[in-house]
Structure 1
Amino acid sequence: MMMTMKVFQTPARHGYAVEASPFLPSRAACAASQFYGITGSGSLLVLDQTDTGVVLVRSWAWGDGLFDVAWSEANEHVLVAGGGDGSLQLWDTANQHAPLRVAKEHTQEVYAVDWSQTRGENLIVSGSWDGTARVWDLTLSASLSTLRGHEGVVYSTIWSPHIPACFASASGDGTLRIWDVKAAACRLAIPAHKAEILSCDWCKYDQNIVATGSVDCSVCVWDLRNVRQPVSQLLGHTYAIRRVKFSPFSQTVLASCSYDFSVRFWDFSRKQPLLDSVEHHSEFVCGLDFNLHVPNQVLDCSWDETVKIYSPACLSAGTNTAAP
């Protein structure tokens, strides 16, 4: 069974993050950087799928590399990006020229941004190489709180889709931390890997399940009620895991992308958890997301200057049913 794929070229821009719109089934955003993000400027791209391919809807340039992007959960036109200059920028697809707002409190690269999904909240969390996570409202005027506790770079910050004012963070210090924003406190610090953790994600169906992806080439799935050992350890990648994402359609399915140029799909409930390995990039794969509206559709982006949208056969093989 051949996998159909749509490809968008990002010449001289190396993809760091891609995210599907929570509102529009065909829309996605990609945060990309010149010169592999080491130096130079960045671009934020808004893309639409068509029947035949992927088209550019809007692009903005930024004076420094862009490393992450998140869509607003309240306004289909608005998105936030994190930059190498320590800034967060709020962009609006109806505004062609400049960001709506810019915040610059982080003192080093902003490597992670995420928009809260729980009802009654409209908050952004950012994670930075300065070792802090910060929580913001839409004005981006001043951060509402600064969370300190990690002893290394913060690579990933993800809101719980279930618990208000709660997010997870992953760090170069090898820990996964769970934060309570209202108390401005770390509720749980898990020594999840003996190496840097570049990514974490919450299960969409279970508030106690979080996955981590590490430089040690493993994905670990954790049950926050018992963190002495992982529920599952997923092995197979040969280089650092850059991003992990849970499926929005299946409780036990997740994807990981890696510096080994591959994207892997897993079902951690199975004895043989690896469903498939997709190797269609020629450079580090840094960005990864599932489309919330199109079951089994995946988006990824790579330092090979492409964004790819596809539906892996392994996800539609009838083995994965949505959770009740």
Structure 2
Amino acid sequence: MKRGGVVPWSPRAQAFRLPGRHGYAVEFSPYLPGRLACAASQYYGIAGCGTLVVLDQNEAGIHLFRSFDWNDGLFDVTWSENNEHVLVTSSGDGSLQIWDTENPSGPLQVYKEHSQEVYSVDWSQTRGEQLIVSGSWDQTVKLWDPAAAQSLCTFKGHEGVIYSTIWSPHIPSCFASASGDQTLRIWDAKSPRLPVIIPAHQAEILTCDWCKYDQNLLVTGAVDCSLKGWDLRNIRQPVFNLSGHTYAIRRVKFSPFHATILASCSYDFTVRFWDFSKTDPLLETVEHHTEFTCGLDLSLHHLGQVADCAWDETVKIYSPSSLTAAA
């Protein structure tokens, strides 16, 4: 089945309850319109187990398709780019799990090499690569081939917790990492000892993402409540600086349909939509959660559709007016 394919969708918001589970990450399926995965944890991820929830959405609402439990909190999730049924999650026990929605008995594979919480996992989107990158509180990044029994490489250099690891959608073997050491680093998986180091904030950086339309542009979000854009051709200063959140920014995502639009979610309970090309860049603020908003994704299939999740035990899918207007 091919990725993508844009279809219209109703802007009506829908919600799904995660009883006893606090949402950390959501990601739309790159293959199946309306399918969404959520990584969630008991007791706010501090203790207890975790659950991978796979949801299907239609005009009648959001429905549970499959769920998988793990014996520690789950902090991130990513879909396979070559199999519509396969996902990878990352956990508080230092492990990664590969799941198959057609095999509900348990994980296909478990990788346990990180020594602390794995807060980020991402599957490469560039053609010809089937690689996974993970970032951990043990200050290392690891590279994985899902067909191999152990990691391919370990990337060292960060001097703080690693919160985010994201593959470039344009450049093969290239990924970014964001850390509590206040740096954004750009790595070549073939030359792991020579990253580009960007001192991006004077605060812990919790998230980063690549622009879908410009291979040189990334955005970072940090505890200082700001979003900063970085052009890899000149990293001396940011190309944009967006402010408005009142607490730490937990996740940021560039739009798959608009070159200058991005979304961010925060511990201030809000999701904000921005157009960094405008004099007044804040397009819209959505406040429909009652706890830290941790997970965020923008659909590849439905123009203007967004999913988020929060510690208030809910997943929400909606179409903000700012993205509908931009369409």
- The aligned runs of 1:108-119 (5 Å cut-off) are 108-119=116-127
Q: Which runs of 5+ in 2 are unaligned?
A: 1-9
CA apart distance, 1:269: 0.6
Matched residue SS, 1:60: strand
Q: How far is 1:97 from its partner?
A: 1.3
Secondary structure at the counterpart of residue 316 of structure 1: helix
Mark the CA change 1:285 to 1:140 in structure 2 (over 3 Å): closer, same or farther. farther
The counterpart of 1:314, out of the listed 311, 319, 322, is 322
Deviation at 1:185, TM superposition (A): 2.8
2:280 pairs with one of 272, 276, 294: 272
Q: Conserved in 1, the CA contact under 8 Å of 2:11 and 2:305?
A: no
How far apart, in 1, do the equivalents of 2:139 and 2:206 lie? 13
Encode CA deviations 1:132-178: one digit per residue, 9 max, x unaligned.
00000013511111000100000000000000000000000000000
CA RMSD in angstroms comes to 1.0
Q: Give the counterpart of 1:4 among 9, 12, 15.
A: 12
The structure 2 residue matched to 1:252, chosen from 257, 260, 282, is: 260
CA distance in 2, matches of 1:11, 1:255: 26
1:172 and 2:180 are equivalent in the alignment: yes
Quick one: which of 215, 219, 226 aligns to 2:227?
Answer: 219
Partner of 1:124: 132
* 1:43 Cα deviation after fit: 0.2
Counterpart in 2 of 1:288?
296
- Structure 1 runs of 4+ off > 6 angstroms? none
Question: Counterparts of 1:30 and 1:93 in 2: how far apart (Å)?
Answer: 13
The structural deviation recorded for 1:50 is 1.6
Conserved 8 A contact 2:251-2:264: yes
1:228 aligns with 2:246: no
The separation in 1 between residues aligned to 2:314 and 2:193, in whole angstroms, is: 39
Shift of 1:3: 5.6
One-letter amino acid of the structure 2 residue matched with residue 173 of structure 1: D
- How far apart, in 2, do the equivalents of 1:193 and 1:63 lie? 35
Corresponding residue to 2:61 among 43, 53, 58: 53
Q: Distance in 2 between matches of 1:158 and 1:101?
A: 22
2:154 maps to 1:149: no
Partner in structure 2 of residue 41 of structure 1: 49
- 1:15 aligns with 23
In structure 1, what is the equivalent of residue 313 of structure 2?
305
Q: Which amino acid is the alignment partner of residue 126 of structure 1?
A: S
The CA distance in 2 between the partners of 1:140 and 1:259, in whole Å, is 37
Structure-2-length-normalised TM-score: 0.96
Q: CA deviation at 1:187?
A: 2.8
1:233-285 CA-to-partner distances (Å, cap 9, x unmatched) read 00000000000000000000000000000000000011100000000000000
CA contact 2:76–2:119 (8 Å) conserved in 1 = yes
Q: Are 1:149 and 1:186, in contact at CA under 8 Å, matched by a contact in 2?
A: no
Contact 2:51 2:73 (C-alpha < 8 Å) held by counterparts: yes
Which of 184, 194, 197 lines up with 1:189 in the alignment?
Answer: 197
CA distance in 2, matches of 1:292, 1:53: 19
Identity level (%): 68
Cα deviation, 1:51-95, whole Å, max 9, x if unaligned, reads 111000000110000000000011000000000000000000001
Q: Distance in 1 between matches of 2:70 and 2:235?
A: 40
Cα shift at 1:105:
0.3
- The answer as to whether partners of 1:210 and 1:223 remain within 8 angstroms in 2 is yes
